[in-house]
Structure 1
Amino acid sequence: MDVPAELETLDFPPHLDRAGADALLRPLIPSEAIRQMMVQNMRLGDNPGWSIGLADIMSALPTIMSWPELPPGTEYDGPTLFIRGEISPYIQPKNYPAMRRLFPHYTLETISGAGHWVHVDAPKRFAELVEKFAER
């Protein structure tokens, strides 16, 4: 199932309320936390739909997902924090050389049991890591 494409072509029933929106997304998004976040990005009521530019996000996805080659001198020399979820397919060892080149002073933290949306899956641990980094 191509969840982004399914979301983009979702058929919104009239007079959609929060419970109906949750039920509409449940087959596509099993995680309740992520589903609730997506419901917050929906326009409910008589004219339901996405309140975010989902079509624009989807058309830009290939660019968002790529890691472009940048010219020398474009690195950021300050401290940088990357937070990845343990079960997320993103930020993999193959990315580390590019991360090191662009952010030579980065720190990588992994949140156990979290997926891609670490702030949704583990909000307390995510906040702790950000606060600790900001206090440096």
Structure 2
Amino acid sequence: MPVLDLAYSEIGDGAPLVVLHGLFGNKRNWGAIAKSLAEEYRVITVDLRNHGESPWDSDMAYPVMAADVAALIEKLVGGPAHVIGHSMGGKTSMVLAFDRPDLVDRLVVADIPPAPRDSGLIAYVRAMQAMDTGAMKRRAEAEAALEPDIPERMIRTFLVQNLTPAEGGGLGWKLNLEAIRDQMPVIEGFPDIDSDDAFPRPALHLVGAESKYVLPRHHAEIERLFPYGEIEAIPDAGHWLHAEQPALFTEAVRTFLS
């Protein structure tokens, strides 16, 4: 299980706060949230493996991704940090909390349960892989090419942020789409966790009130694995609650961490 040296950015001073993005995301997506929270915290935004500027690898099992983050926290902090994780990053943060509770002070999980979920996101991967990005010069071309398969403009705009100028011309993905495609059942899944490994410190599960990711049937499992946890809904927000309601999101995080 090779541990990868993850790319990261940091801003601010104070108690360390590590932020983990979701699938198809990267640390830059969290720039505005990081800038706001940097008034009180040393905010470390991370690119998970196969995303952003971090190295690529074929394995995306959550214990492996959590080990990457644990190594980063040990290197940068040398002890426990607050951790925020959204979606895939939320699952990674939960497994980190179970495997290495010594490195997690308080945990914020954004709109993802500790349970498997069929996301349908493999369709996005296939649409992105089908494009001839090497023949494109602008992200707008890629966004237009994705429209027949992905009608939601916000999602298309989010996905094409992962395109960058390629050597020799054209555009290339900063995502390891092959690994993401092959590991999608693992990404959509979640490990079986024994109650003895429940997280022994405070945790906050923030959910979008309009999201379908965390359902009432998940609450019992959240309570089993996070006995010192709480669940809070962000109104008028879906799965991307931090982008749709940034002020309410940061207010909830501040209140919980303080």
Mark yes or no: TM-score above 0.5.
Answer: yes
- Conserved in 1, the CA contact under 8 Å of 2:139 and 2:163? no
Structure 2 residue runs of 5 or longer lacking an equivalent are: 1-119
Over the residues paired in the alignment, what is the CA RMSD in angstroms? 2.4
Q: Distance in 2 between matches of 1:50 and 1:82?
A: 31
Deviations 1:32-78 (A, max 9, x none): 3x433322211246232311223222322222222332223211011
CA distance in 1, matches of 2:153, 2:251: 23
Aligned 8 A contact 1:22 1:35 in 2: yes
After the TM superposition, which of the residue ranges 16-25 and 118-127 deviates more from structure 2?
Answer: 16-25
Structure 1: unaligned runs, 5 residues or longer? none
Which amino acid is the alignment partner of residue 77 of structure 1?
A: P
Note if contact 1:82-1:109 (Cα within 8 Å) is conserved in structure 2: yes
Partner of residue 86, structure 1 = 209
Pairing partner for 2:254 from 128, 131, 135: 131
Name 2:133's counterpart in structure 1.
12
| CA deviations over 1:76-130 (Å, ceiling 9, x no partner) | 0111111112232211111112111111111212222322122222222222221
Larger displacement relative to structure 2 (88-97 or 55-64): 55-64
Higher strand proportion: 2
Indicate whether 1:101 and 2:224 are aligned.
yes
Contact 2:136/2:142, CA 8 A, preserved across alignment:
no
Paired positions, count: 134
Change (3 A) 1:98 1:67: farther
Q: Which moved more, 1:85-94 or 1:41-50?
A: 41-50
Of 144, 157, 166, which residue of structure 2 is paired with 1:36?
157
Q: Which residue of 1 aligns with 2:95?
A: none
For 2:139 and 2:127, how far apart are their aligned partners in 1? 19
Percent of pairs identical after alignment?
A: 31
Q: What does 1:28-67 correspond to in 2, within 5 Å? A: 28-32=150-154, 34-44=155-165, 46-67=169-190
Instruction: Go from structure 1 to structure 2 and tell me whether the alpha carbon gap of 1:26 and 1:128 turns closer, same or farther (over 3 Å shift).
Output: farther
What is the identity, as a one-letter code, of the residue corresponding to 1:12?
T
TM-score after normalising by structure 2: 0.46
Decide whether aligned partners of structure 1 residues 113 and 127 sit closer, same or farther in structure 2, where only a CA change above 3 A counts.
same
Q: For residues 114 and 35 of structure 1, do their structure 2 counterparts lie closer, same or farther at Cα, with a shift above 3 Å needed?
A: farther
Residues 15 and 44, structure 1, Cα contact 8 Å, conserved in 2: no
Q: Distance in 1 between matches of 2:234 and 2:153?
A: 17
Structure 1 contact 22–36 (Cα < 8 Å) conserved? yes
- SS at structure 2 position matched to 1:49: strand
